[in-house]
Amino acid sequence: MTLLLETSSTKELRICLAKGVLMVDHKSPFPIVIHIQEGSINLNIAGVMHTMTKGDLIGIEGAIIHNLKATENSIIRLSIHKKDHMERVQNVLNTN
């Protein structure tokens, strides 16, 4: 995971996932935006499955349980709130 940019309101992160990597159920205290830059993922938001491919973008409100699985080697741009912590995201990645 790499911090790409930090603004007065957001942190923009790049997450590289190998095919088959699962980010288990988790939630953010703030809204997030997921943008698929390469590859594809299956994203489960509160029990609703979304297949996302290169170029797709989705927002998730805070406190909503979600998980994802990389169906190809993937690069994700994750936008998180300035007050959110990269360590929280890293902890989810580490549970794989």
CA distance 89 to 26: 9
What's the whole-number mean pLDDT along residues 91-95? 92
The greatest distance separating any two alpha carbons of the chain, rounded to the nearest whole angstrom, comes to 34
Question: Would you put residue 47 in left (φ > 0), alpha (ψ -120 to 50) or beta?
Answer: left
End-to-end Cα separation, the chain, in angstroms? 14
**Is the pLDDT at 96 greater than 80, yes or no?**
no
Measured at the CA of 10, the angle between CA 84 and CA 40, to 5 degrees, comes to 90
pTM of the model: 0.95
**Is the pLDDT at 22 greater than 80, yes or no?**
yes
Domain range summary for the chain, segments of one domain joined by +? 2-94
| CB-based contact 60:25 (threshold 8 Å) | no
- What confidence tens digit (pLDDT) does each residue in 40-51 have? 999 999 999 999
| CB-based contact 42:83 (threshold 8 Å) | no
CATH number of 2-94: 2.60.120.10
